[in-house]
Structure 1
């Protein structure tokens, strides 16, 4: 009851509709929180470390580093090592922190094909890793993760429709023209296959990238939500 009241109040006081729109959606018996960012008016940014080189690690700390600004939306953005350094390619404000990792490996990240979210000044694209290497796009921000959920509209070939391996999961998809990025976190435990279908059939994107499971977190004031828990590595967000 109290959570419902808080959500209602948060929606009422969120002000005029902005270029980051968040909602709760249902699909095939599952519940998802969805935030859509308009790249023609909003700037997506990646955040990893503060000015002293320390990992930021949480939405609360990220907001505290910008007392005169508002964190409108944020999400964990890719896998990381125990020291919270990015596992794969990472670019922040035009500076490469970690190179592209092309080879297969253990865990979800190494379940090829994986991919890279490339953020440009007024667009963002999810690109399969080998295609990214071939195209060599210029990215102001970039984060590599894996596996890909959708590649040109096709579900990742290793996903099983009858899988029983479920988790809270999150990821990102981009529109064909790059003008819209859609960030999704499941509110219930889902399979890779179910998350991929949600991006394809409910969101309507052709390319989508998995970020993580269990660690999946969302900061969405319009939903009255800012997740706590295990400290993160890379964070992606919109600051106003």
Structure 2
């Protein structure tokens, strides 16, 4: 039986075994400044990205368990700031429908370490922009999620970051390289904002990159049989083959 939950078509698991996932993983381990990361690469020419926000699917394990057919899933990752109920606290667009408006309020915490930003899927490709730039562009997004802070802004590190600060967590982020491909990165060991930002700018060639979260960061890579355990999350980004 197929149901739609927050813009994602889910075929409820039955007793029969799930089909095998895609043979080749989109994710691979990379190293930068003697630190390990996993880089999952998605291409808008062949892949689609969806945003899932649902109170019943707040971990990647729950998402994986809800799917009878995961053969098109390349990977999934937590993808945006949220409240205690798992609802987005910033812009969230699912299948062209805005479910939460853009949030440009000032406040505490990572999300309000301005500028924050938006990762979006549009007719001309995928974009990472500051929230102000997104608002000025007024795009028609098929998918969008807001998080923060920005890591890299037009080739420059966020002004609040040191090259390698003292605050270190397992962190994940997304950036778009100059070829238009998206790099979804999760660190395999605790890292600072500055180190993560420099990875995107200096190794991955992303002029803009957006922090997604830290300490709760998680990855589902079916081809590698990896499903990270985590606390209850909020918005989930799911990349699948077209």
Equivalent residue for 1:113, pick from 95, 112, 115: 115
**TM-score, normalising length: structure 2:** 0.86
Matches within 5 A, 1:147-162: 147-162=149-164
1:212 to 2:213 alignment = yes
Match 2:82 to one of 46, 69, 80? 80
Q: In 2 relative to 1, CA 121–226 (structure 1 residues): closer, same or farther, beyond 3 Å?
A: farther
1:134 corresponds to 2:136: yes
Distance in structure 1 (CA, Å) of the matches to 2:56 and 2:124: 27
Whole-angstrom distance in 1 between the partners of 2:164 and 2:32: 17
C-alpha deviations, 1:173-215, integer Å up to 9, x for none?
01245x3111000001110000000011111110000000001
Question: What is the CA deviation profile of residues 84-134 of structure 1, one whole-angstrom value per residue up to 9, with x for unaligned ones?
Answer: 111111111111111001122110000001100011256210011001111
Instruction: Tell me the residue number matched to 2:188.
Output: 187
SS in 2 for 1:64: helix
- 1:67 correspondence with 2:68: yes
For structure 2, the 5+ residue unaligned runs are 1-19
State the distance in 2 between where 1:233 and 1:182 align.
20
- The CA distance in 1 between the partners of 2:21 and 2:240, in whole Å, is 15
Shift of 1:231: 1.5
Are the aligned partners of 1:86 and 1:233 in contact in 2 as well (CA < 8 Å)? yes
- Structure 2 contact 26–75 (Cα < 8 Å) conserved: no
Q: Which residue does the alignment assign to 1:28? A: 33
Alignment partners' CA distance in 1, 2:90 and 2:80: 8
Q: TM-score of the superposition, structure 1-length normalised? A: 0.86
**Matching residue of 1:42:** 47
> 1:162 Cα deviation (Å)?
4.8
CA deviation digits over 1:62-88, x for unaligned, max 9? 233331343320000011111111111
Distance 1:210 1:153, change over 3 A: same
Residues 122-174 of structure 1 show CA distances to partners (whole Å, capped at 9, x for unaligned) of 62100110011111111111000000000011000000125211111100001
What is the match of residue 5 of structure 1?
A: none
Query: What does residue 104 of structure 1 align with?
Result: 106
